Amino acid sequence: MSTTKPARRENPMSWRTGTGIAGRPWKGAVREYDLFKELTIGLVAAILLVLAASALFGSPDDKAVSLKSWAVAQPADFVATATAELAGTSDTAGYGPPYNSTPGATQTLGPIDLQTLAGVKLPIDTAQAFVLGPLSSLPTPPSGVATWKAASADQRTAWTDAYAQAIDKAKNHDPADVAAGDYGPVPAMMRTLTTMATQGSLDSVISAQGKFYNLDYTPAILFMGDGAYLNDLAAGLHLSGDQWGMMNETGNYPGQSWLWLFSFFYQIEPFASLPNADIVVVVLVAVLTLALMLVPFIPGLRSIPRVIPIHRLVWRDYYRRR
Amino acid sequence: MTAPTREQVAQHPADDEIEPFSTWTGRARRWMLTKLPPDKLLPESQPSYVASWIYVFGMGAIASLAVVIASGLVLSLNGPSWWHVSGLGHFVNSTHLWSVEFFFLFMVVHLWGKFWMAAWRGGRVLTWITGVLSFAVGIAAAFTGYLLQSNFESQWISFEAKDALNAAGIGAWFNVANLGQMFTWHIVLLPLGVAAIVAFHVILVRMHGVVPPLDAAESDSQLAHVKEASE
- What pLDDT does A4 receive? 56
Asked if A311 lies within 8 A of B118 by C-beta distance, the reply is yes
Query: B20 falls in which pLDDT band (50, 70, 90)?
Result: confident
Asked if B151 lies within 8 A of A63 by C-beta distance, the reply is yes
pLDDT higher than 80, residue B209 = yes
* Share of residues in chain A with pLDDT > 90 (%): 81
Return mean pLDDT, chain B: 90
Residues 6+ apart with CB under 8 A from A250: A60, A62, A237, A239, B152, B153
Q: Which of B112, B214, B220 should we substitute to test contact with A (largest number of A Cβ atoms within 10 Å)?
A: B214
* Share of residues in chain B with pLDDT > 90 (%): 81
3 state SS of A31: strand
Query: For A65, which residue in chain B has the nearest alpha carbon?
Result: B152
Q: Comparing C-alpha atoms, which of B81, B220, B134 is closest to residue A29?
A: B220
Asked if A22 lies within 8 A of B139 by C-beta distance, the reply is no
- What pLDDT does B2 receive? 47
Whether A303 and A13 have beta carbons less than 8 Å apart is answered as: yes
Query: For B163, which residue in chain A has the nearest alpha carbon?
Result: A278
ipTM: 0.92
- What pLDDT does A5 receive? 59
End-to-end Cα separation, chain A, in angstroms: 43
Q: Which residues pair with B178 in a beta bridge?
A: A216
What's the CA gap between B139 and A256, in Å, rounded?
A: 9
Q: Which residues pair with B46 in a beta bridge?
A: A31
Q: Show residues of chain B in contact with A45, CB under 8 Å.
A: 60, 63
User: Out of A33, A276, A289, whose CB is closest to B136?
Assistant: A289
Q: Is A88 left (phi over 0), alpha (psi -120 to 50) or beta?
A: left
Sequence letter at residue B51: A
Query: A7 falls in which pLDDT band (50, 70, 90)?
Result: low
Query: For A59, which residue in chain B has the nearest alpha carbon?
Result: B94
From the CB of residue B38, how many other CB atoms can be counted at a distance below 10 Å? 11
Per-residue pLDDT tens digits for A244-292: 988 999 988 999 999 999 999 999 999 999 999 999 999 999 999 999 9
Q: Show residues of chain B in contact with A97, CB under 8 Å.
A: 166
Q: Show residues of chain A in contact with B118, CB under 8 Å.
A: 13, 302, 305-306, 311
Sign of CA dihedral B153, B155, B158, B159: negative
Q: Which residues pair with B45 in a beta bridge?
A: A32
pLDDT higher than 80, residue B171 = yes
Q: Comparing C-alpha atoms, which of A113, A126, A50, A115 is closest to residue A83?
A: A126
User: Out of B121, B146, B179, whose CB is closest to A256?
Assistant: B146
Whether B220 and A322 have beta carbons less than 8 Å apart is answered as: yes
Q: Which of B121, B176, B186, B222 should we substitute to test contact with A (largest number of A Cβ atoms within 10 Å)?
A: B121
Query: For A43, which residue in chain B has the nearest alpha carbon?
Result: B63
pLDDT higher than 50, residue B7 = no
pLDDT higher than 50, residue B10 = no
pLDDT higher than 80, residue A3 = no
Per-residue pLDDT tens digits for A180-208: 889 999 999 999 999 999 999 999 999 88
pLDDT higher than 80, residue B17 = no
Q: What angle do CA B208, B213, B215 make, to 5 degrees?
A: 130
Whether A49 and A56 have beta carbons less than 8 Å apart is answered as: no
Asked if B159 lies within 8 A of A224 by C-beta distance, the reply is yes
Whether A296 and B120 have beta carbons less than 8 Å apart is answered as: yes
* Share of residues in chain A with pLDDT > 70 (%): 98
What's the CA gap between A118 and B52, in Å, rounded?
A: 50
Per-residue pLDDT tens digits for B96-106: 999 999 999 99
Query: B219 falls in which pLDDT band (50, 70, 90)?
Result: confident
User: Out of B121, B155, B222, whose CB is closest to A64?
Assistant: B155
pTM of the model: 0.90
What's the gap in Å between the CA of B18 and the closest CA on chain A?
26
Query: A14 falls in which pLDDT band (50, 70, 90)?
Result: confident
| DSSP E strand stretches across B53-209 | none
Return mean pLDDT, chain A: 93
Asked if B170 lies within 8 A of A46 by C-beta distance, the reply is no
A245 or A228, higher pLDDT: A228
Q: Comparing C-alpha atoms, which of B51, B69, B137, B54 is closest to residue A46?
A: B69
Q: What angle do CA B110, B115, B121 make, to 5 degrees?
A: 115
Q: What is the DSSP letter of A252?
A: S
Quick one: which H or E segment has residue B38? helix B38-41
pLDDT higher than 60, residue B56 = yes
Q: Comparing C-alpha atoms, which of A292, A223, A305, A298 is closest to residue A258?
A: A292
pLDDT higher than 80, residue B3 = no
Q: Show residues of chain B in contact with A297, CB under 8 Å.
A: 125
Q: Which of A59, A116, A249 should we substitute to test contact with B (largest number of B Cβ atoms within 10 Å)?
A: A59
Whether A175 and A187 have beta carbons less than 8 Å apart is answered as: yes
What's the gap in Å between the CA of A311 and the closest CA on chain B?
5
- What pLDDT does A19 receive? 81
- What pLDDT does B226 receive? 65
Q: Which residues of A246-276 are buried (b: 16+ CB within 10 A; e: fewer)?
A: bbbbbeeebbbebbeebbebbeeeebeeeeb
pLDDT higher than 50, residue A106 = yes
Asked if B153 lies within 8 A of A249 by C-beta distance, the reply is yes
**How many residues does the structure list for chain A?**
322
B10 or A50, higher pLDDT: A50
- What pLDDT does A210 receive? 75
Residues 6+ apart with CB under 8 A from B108: A258, B135
Q: Show residues of chain A in contact with B163, CB under 8 Å.
A: 278
Q: Show residues of chain A in contact with B215, CB under 8 Å.
A: 319
Query: For A218, which residue in chain B has the nearest alpha carbon?
Result: B177
3 state SS of A2: coil
3 state SS of A134: helix
| DSSP E strand stretches across chain B | 45-47
Q: What is the DSSP letter of B187?
A: I
pLDDT higher than 70, residue A85 = yes
Q: Which of B35, B91, B120 should we substitute to test contact with A (largest number of A Cβ atoms within 10 Å)?
A: B120
Mean pLDDT computed over B177-186: 95
Asked if A21 lies within 8 A of B83 by C-beta distance, the reply is no
Asked if A29 lies within 8 A of B180 by C-beta distance, the reply is no
Per-residue pLDDT tens digits for B127-164: 999 999 999 999 999 999 999 999 999 999 999 999 99
Sign of CA dihedral A27, A33, A35, A41: negative
Asked if B177 lies within 8 A of A18 by C-beta distance, the reply is no
Q: Which residues pair with A30 in a beta bridge?
A: B47
Asked if B214 lies within 8 A of A215 by C-beta distance, the reply is no
What's the gap in Å between the CA of B143 and the closest CA on chain A?
8
What's the CA gap between A114 and B205, in Å, rounded?
A: 38
Q: Is B169 left (phi over 0), alpha (psi -120 to 50) or beta?
A: left
Q: Show residues of chain A in contact with B68, CB under 8 Å.
A: none
